[in-house]
């Protein structure tokens, strides 16, 4: 996987480059906007992902992002930004970025986000469907009958776990461990509550049976559609 990093501060650029290379990525660095854009546009299909600093001498990150999006809709773009107003984040996403990370950030966190965006390139399944519900891990969106449904993080990852295991029982213990990361507290009823949230948000009001089947004493299951 080849990543283009556009970042003017040499120390940061190096830190990221070396870290990512240790993880097995190939990383090119451009230390200003103009160079970066050139590289990106000339060998666009070479790159699997773009890490883009918000504040750059010359062309700003935003401008680069716009320019690239004109040519290529699919290249995942992650903004690195020191700013911390929500406005900027929203603005960045509207401009066409897929994600943004605030400096200072942990390398782990960045890596995790990069991996998420590259999932589809690695051939992993990123779209899950059940009847009229569609979940897209790339865009982190869920739709019901084509209309967006806003899910919180926990709701999202619970649904993801259920859909990944469509057709199989999802045992309570597993769910707690996978979605909540809890190892020893079994006395909680959070699962029930979140199942309830998902049902409320994703079910048609008049439905006679839930799309999530309860298996009493065991867990839950989203049925295979056959």
> In terms of C-beta density within 10 A (0-12 exposed, 13-18 middle, 19 or more buried), how is residue 44 classed?
middle
Binding of its own copies by 19 (CB under 8 A): yes
Size of the site for DNA (CB under 7 A): 26
Q: Identify the CA nearest to 154 among candidates 201, 119, 110.
A: 201
What residues between 3 and 62 interact with DNA by CB under 7 A? none
What residues between 96 and 125 interact with DNA by CB under 7 A? none
Tally of CB atoms within 10 A around 197: 16
Binding of DNA by 186 (CB under 7 A): no
Among 45, 87, 208, 225, binds DNA (CB under 7 A): 87
d(C-alpha 12, C-alpha 162), whole Å = 39
**Min. distance of Cβ 149 from its own copies in angstroms?**
14
Listed in sequence order, the residues at least 6 apart from 45 whose beta carbon sits closer than 8 Å to its beta carbon are none
Instruction: Using the Cα atoms of residue 191, residue 192, residue 193 and residue 195 in order, give the sign of their dihedral.
Output: positive
Residue span binding DNA (CB under 7 A) among the ranges 37-45, 75-83, 132-140, 190-198: 190-198
Q: What is the CA radius of gyration of the chain?
A: 20
Instruction: Using the Cα atoms of residue 66, residue 29, residue 48 and residue 143 in order, give the sign of their dihedral.
Output: negative
Binding of DNA by 192 (CB under 7 A): yes
**Min. distance of Cβ 139 from its own copies in angstroms?**
6
Q: Which does 94 bind (CB under 5 to 8 A by kind): its own copies, DNA, none?
A: none
Footprint on this chain of DNA (rule: CB under 7 A): 85-87, 150, 152-155, 172, 180, 185, 188-190, 192-196, 199-200, 214, 216-219
């Amino acid at each position: 996987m080849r990543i283009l990093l556009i970042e003017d501060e040499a120390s940061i650029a190096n830190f990221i480059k070396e870290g990512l290379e240790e993880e097995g990525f190939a990383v090119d660095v451009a230390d200003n906007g103009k160079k970066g854009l050139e590289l990106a546009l000339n060998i666009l299909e070479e790159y699997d992902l773009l890490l883009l600093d918000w504040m750059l001498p010359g062309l700003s990150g935003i401008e680069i992002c716009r320019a690239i999006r004109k040519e290529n809709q699919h290249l995942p773009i992650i903004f690195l930004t020191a700013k911390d107003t929500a406005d900027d984040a929203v603005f960045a996403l509207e401009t066409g970025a897929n994600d943004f990370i605030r400096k200072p950030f942990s390398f782990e966190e960045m890596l995790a986000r990069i991996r998420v965006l590259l999932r589809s390139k690695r051939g992993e399944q990123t779209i899950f469907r059940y009847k009229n519900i569609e979940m897209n891990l790339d865009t982190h969106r869920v739709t019901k009958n084509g209309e967006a449904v806003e899910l919180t993080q926990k709701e999202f990852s619970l649904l993801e776990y259920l859909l990944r295991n469509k057709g199989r029982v999802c045992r309570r213990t597993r769910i707690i461990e996978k979605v909540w990361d809890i190892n020893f507290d079994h006395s909680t009823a959070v699962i029930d509550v979140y199942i309830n949230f998902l049902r409320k948000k994703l079910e048609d009001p008049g439905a006679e049976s839930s799309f999530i089947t309860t298996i009493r004493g065991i867990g839950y299951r989203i049925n295979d559609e056959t």
